[in-house]
């Protein structure tokens, strides 16, 4: 029976949470749930997927899969897909998923749906909801080819424990090394343990009102107090001024984020910024300009100088955290 | 060094989106070059300038209005363009169909590299770079933040952004490169550039003429706007300390986040 094939991404030796999300969702939909996990030394962690609904886990393990190289991973996943002939292929819309899935889809000669925030089953088909214009609009779409190739935004579905048969087997994959043209020279991963903005639960973000790069330290301090699921962000104005690296940028030409708490310090709330963080559960705006548009969207607004509010807030959070 | 830049015209980031059926309402939109494609145009021009030779060809799928963005890229310093002016195809095109028609227009052109934005900020799919590479049978390196080409144009050393860091790769040319913010600072078109752009050749084509009949594989069934956010509570108090305490209390007790 044609079922679902899931690509489980591994980062720093761990299966990413996004893989559990899509696996448990696929199990809910019914049918066989197969998961393909690719990496070096991943066989040992593969059985973890059973708890979240994996019936079969296909392991592609070897030294050539230590670093993510598009062509190598495309070959591996495409071969598994060709053997299983699934009706749906799901992956997480992480940076890697966004690179991998369109190439896999093109090789299978089908379209792909990127970065969905909701998926549901209608008859034999998956219908997906995805943001356009960084969240200024949403579209409900259907991929008409087979398989349906769909990537799902991390954290959008949530995950739950739902047992699958969990049979682990080695996938029959052979990589044509001659076709792997890209050679990895260096991989640099920051030592920071902060989550990516797209996966963070709390983001403390600063804009033009921060006045300079040196002042982000206090936002970092506040984020640290919130714990390991918190990080910092920045507006386009701050990034364009060179105060923060563009990896921090939230908005239409940066990251689209959806944390539980978004604290905007010295951010006026331009349309392109609001598009990127408008789905945050709780928005706090701190700005000395009472006319700043962000106050029309914020759940809590503080009209005051952020250079007084943030240090005071740090002290208050310390008190609460004891 | 001959390069191709695939360019899409999109609504400016300050545009308020309104829905009209399964698309957006066209009124009041300021159309611009997709910001990520601007980095691609800039990089192609810089590579030509560095090498002191070669041509930059813009390839764009879009309706009549797209010519304005094509002219802007020519004014920045691109040399010529192919405008796939086919609104019937464009209106329904998904990333697969877009990549197919771009690939058809590019096949037969002489190039060392293709640059394009990592995603268009309208549909945010981010699929065309990888699909284009597949369809042309050449490597695609996405999310590029640094690009250097060997003197003999045989290969490029590029830095691409990955989650939590970056990766340096070496890739033989020709190849596709998708631009991420940080790659460069796009220039503005100069007045002489704008004058010159008017005379630069733009070859107009359509999908059928390129032999592409691929229908879309992604169908939009419905479009909607996100629920509007309401203004919440303004926290008042005598000074910043009092307000900060009230805010911390609200986050702790009302929404229970901290």
Residues of chain A in contact with residue B32, where contact means CB-CB under 8 angstroms, are: none
* pLDDT score, position B55: 98
Are residue B79 and residue B190 in the same domain, yes or no? yes
- Flag whether B221 is in a domain: no
Q: Do domains A4-179 and A197-321 have the same CATH topology?
A: yes
Which A positions 66-95 lie with beta carbon below 8 A of chain B?
67-68, 70-71, 94-95
* Number of domains within chain B: 2
Are residue B26 and residue B114 in the same domain, yes or no? yes
Q: Which of B180, B182, B251, B255 to mutate to test the interface with A (most CBs of A within 10 A)?
A: B251
- Flag whether B217 is in a domain: no
- Flag whether B247 is in a domain: yes
* Residue B123: how many other CB atoms lie within 10 Å: 25
Whichever domain contains B141, its CATH number is 3.40.50.620
Query: Do A143 and B217 lie within an 8 Å CB cutoff?
Result: yes
C-alpha to C-alpha distances, B105 to A238, B54, B75, nearest whole angstrom: 39, 19, 22
- Flag whether B77 is in a domain: yes
* Cβ contact B189:B76 at 8 Å: yes
* DSSP-derived 3-state class of residue B16: coil
User: Taking the domains of chain A in order of start, what are their residue ranges?
Assistant: 4-179, 197-321
Are residue B249 and residue B200 in the same domain, yes or no? no
- Closest alpha carbon within chain A to B93: A111
Helix (H) or strand (E) holding B183: none
Are residue B144 and residue B240 in the same domain, yes or no? no
Is A299 an interface residue toward B (CB < 8 Å)? yes
* pLDDT score, position A199: 87
* pLDDT tens series, chain B, 258 aa: 999 999 999 999 999 999 999 999 999 999 999 999 999 999 999 999 999 999 999 999 999 999 999 999 999 999 999 999 999 999 999 999 999 999 999 999 999 999 999 999 999 999 999 999 999 999 999 999 999 999 999 999 999 999 889 999 999 999 999 999 999 999 999 999 999 999 999 999 999 999 998 789 999 999 999 988 999 999 999 999 999 999 999 999 999 988
Smallest Cα distance from A42 to chain B, Å: 19
* pLDDT score, position A178: 96
Query: Do A71 and B142 lie within an 8 Å CB cutoff?
Result: no
Query: How far apart are the C-alpha atoms of B152 and B170, rounded to whole Å?
Result: 14
C-alpha to C-alpha distances, B119 to A99, B38, B71, B122, B124, nearest whole angstrom: 11, 11, 21, 9, 6
Are residue B13 and residue B138 in the same domain, yes or no? yes
- Closest alpha carbon within chain B to A116: B125
Half-sphere exposure of residue A230, counting CA atoms within 13 Å on the CB side? 18
Helix (H) or strand (E) holding B106: helix B95-106
Are residue B126 and residue B47 in the same domain, yes or no? yes
- Closest alpha carbon within chain B to A296: B231
Query: Do A305 and B142 lie within an 8 Å CB cutoff?
Result: no
Q: Which of A66, A73, A88, A112 to mutate to test the interface with B (most CBs of B within 10 A)?
A: A112
Is A272 an interface residue toward B (CB < 8 Å)? yes
Are residue B162 and residue B251 in the same domain, yes or no? no
Cβ within 8 Å of residue A278, ≥6 positions away: A135, A297, B226, B229
Query: How far apart are the C-alpha atoms of A85 and B83, rounded to whole Å?
Result: 38
Residues of chain B in contact with residue A296, where contact means CB-CB under 8 angstroms, are: 229, 231
- Sign of the dihedral defined by the CA atoms of residues B156, B157, B158, B164, in that order: positive
Is A300 an interface residue toward B (CB < 8 Å)? yes
Are residue B133 and residue B236 in the same domain, yes or no? no
Task: Give me the residues paired with residue A5 across strands.
Answer: A34, A89
Smallest Cα distance from A23 to chain B, Å: 22
* pLDDT score, position B59: 98
* pLDDT score, position A23: 98
Are residue B138 and residue B20 in the same domain, yes or no? yes
* Residue B146: how many other CB atoms lie within 10 Å: 16
Are residue B188 and residue B253 in the same domain, yes or no? no
- Domain A197-321 class? alpha beta
Are residue B196 and residue B243 in the same domain, yes or no? no
* pLDDT tens series, chain A, 322 aa: 479 999 999 998 999 999 999 999 999 999 999 999 999 999 999 999 999 999 999 999 999 999 999 999 999 999 999 999 999 999 999 999 999 999 999 999 999 999 999 999 999 999 999 999 999 999 999 999 999 999 999 888 988 899 999 999 999 999 999 999 999 999 998 877 788 898 899 999 999 999 999 999 999 999 999 999 999 999 999 999 999 999 999 999 999 999 999 999 999 999 999 999 999 999 999 999 999 999 999 999 999 999 999 999 999 999 999 8
Task: Give me the residues paired with residue B219 across strands.
Answer: A142
Query: How far apart are the C-alpha atoms of A220 and B39, rounded to whole Å?
Result: 30
> What would the two tokens of residue A124 be?
């034999």
Query: Do A114 and B125 lie within an 8 Å CB cutoff?
Result: yes
Are residue B128 and residue B249 in the same domain, yes or no? no
- Flag whether B211 is in a domain: no
Residues of chain B in contact with residue A196, where contact means CB-CB under 8 angstroms, are: 163-164
- Flag whether B215 is in a domain: no
* DSSP-derived 3-state class of residue B72: helix
Q: Which of B127, B155, B183 to mutate to test the interface with A (most CBs of A within 10 A)?
A: B127
* pLDDT score, position B214: 77
- Flag whether B212 is in a domain: no
* pLDDT score, position B149: 97
Closest partner residue to A182 among B124, B169, B241, by Cβ? B169
* DSSP-derived 3-state class of residue B86: coil
* Cβ contact A261:B250 at 8 Å: no
Give the 3-state secondary structure of chain A: CCCEEEEECEECCEECHHHHHHHHHHHHHCCCEEEEEEECCCCCCHHHHHHHCCCEEEEEECHHHCCCCHHHHHHHHHHHHHHHCCCEEEEECCHHHHHHHHHHHHHCCCCEEEEECEEEEECCEEEEEEEEHHHCEEEEEEECCCCEEEEECCCCCCCCCCCCCCEEEECCCCCCHHHCCCEEEEEEECCCCCCCHHHCCEEEEECHHHCCHHHHHHHHHHHHHHCCCEEEEECHHHHHCCCCCHHHEECCCCECCCCCEEEEECCCCCHHHHHHHCCCCEEEEEECCCCCHHHHCCCEEEECCHHHHHHHHHHHHHHHHC
> What would the two tokens of residue A121 be?
């089953």
* DSSP-derived 3-state class of residue B38: helix
CATH placement of domain A4-179: 3.40.50.620
Smallest Cα distance from A191 to chain B, Å: 9
Residues of chain B in contact with residue A246, where contact means CB-CB under 8 angstroms, are: 180-182
Residues spanned by the domain of B79: 3-205
């Amino acid at each position: 029976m044609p079922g679902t094939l899931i690509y489980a991404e591994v980062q720093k030796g761990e299966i990413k949470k996004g893989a559990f999300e899509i696996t448990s969702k696929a199990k809910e939909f019914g049918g066989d749930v197969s998961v393909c996990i690719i990496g070096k030394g991943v066989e040992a962690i593969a059985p973890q997927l059973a708890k979240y609904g994996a019936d079969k886990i296909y392991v592609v393990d070897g030294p050539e899969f230590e670093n993510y190289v598009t062509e190598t991973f495309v070959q591996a996943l495409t071969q598994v897909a060709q053997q299983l002939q699934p009706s749906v292929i799901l992956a997480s819309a992480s940076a890697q998923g966004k690179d991998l899935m369109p190439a896999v889809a093109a090789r299978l000669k089908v379209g792909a749906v990127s970065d969905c925030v909701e998926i549901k089953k209608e008859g034999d088909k998956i219908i997906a909801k995805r943001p356009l214009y960084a969240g200024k609009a949403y579209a409900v779409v259907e991929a008409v080819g087979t398989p349906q190739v769909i990537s799902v935004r991390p954290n959008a579905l949530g995950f739950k424990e739902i047992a699958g048969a969990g049979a682990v087997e080695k996938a029959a994959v052979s990589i044509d090394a001659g076709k792997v043209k890209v050679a990895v020279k260096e991989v640099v991963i920051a030592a920071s343990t902060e989550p990516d903005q797209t996966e963070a639960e709390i983001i403390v973000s600063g804009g033009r009102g921060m006045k300079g790069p040196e002042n982000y330290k206090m936002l970092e301090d506040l984020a640290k107090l919130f714990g390991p699921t918190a990080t910092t962000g920045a507006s386009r104005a701050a990034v364009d001024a060179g105060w923060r690296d563009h990896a921090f940028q939230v908005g239409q030409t940066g990251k689209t984020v959806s944390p539980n708490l978004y604290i905007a310090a010295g951010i006026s709330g331009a349309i392109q910024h609001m598009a990127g963080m408008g789905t945050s559960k709780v928005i706090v705006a701190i700005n000395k300009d009472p006319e700043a548009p962000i106050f029309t969207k914020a759940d809590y607004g503080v009209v005051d100088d952020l250079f007084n509010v943030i240090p005071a807030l740090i002290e208050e959070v310390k008190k609460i955290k004891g | 060094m001959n390069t191709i830049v695939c360019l899409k015209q999109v609504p400016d980031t300050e545009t308020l989106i309104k829905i009209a059926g399964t698309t957006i309402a066209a009124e009041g939109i300021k159309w611009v070059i997709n910001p990520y494609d601007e980095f691609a145009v800039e990089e192609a021009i810089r590579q030509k300038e560095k090498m002191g030779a070669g041509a930059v060809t813009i390839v764009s799928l879009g309706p009549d209005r797209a010519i304005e963005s094509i002219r802007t890229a020519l004014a920045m310093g691109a040399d010529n363009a192919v405008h796939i002016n086919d609104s019937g195809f464009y209106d329904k095109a998904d990333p697969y169909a877009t990549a197919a028609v771009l690939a058809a227009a590019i096949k037969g052109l002489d190039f060392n590299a293709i640059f394009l934005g990592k995603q268009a900020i309208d549909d945010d799919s981010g699929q065309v770079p990888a699909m284009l590479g597949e369809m042309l049978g050449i490597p695609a390196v996405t999310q590029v933040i640094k690009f250097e080409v060997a003197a003999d144009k045989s290969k490029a050393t590029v830095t691409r952004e990955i989650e939590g860091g970056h990766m340096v790769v070496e890739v033989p040319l020709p190849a596709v490169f998708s631009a991420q913010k940080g790659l460069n600072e796009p220039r503005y078109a100069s007045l002489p550039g704008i004058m010159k752009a008017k005379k630069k050749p733009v070859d107009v084509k359509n999908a059928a003429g390129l032999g592409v009949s691929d229908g879309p594989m992604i169908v939009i069934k419905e479009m909607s706007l996100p629920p509007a956010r309401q203004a919440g509570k303004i926290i008042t108090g005598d000074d910043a300390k009092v307000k900060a305490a009230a805010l911390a209390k609200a986050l702790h007790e009302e929404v229970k986040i901290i």
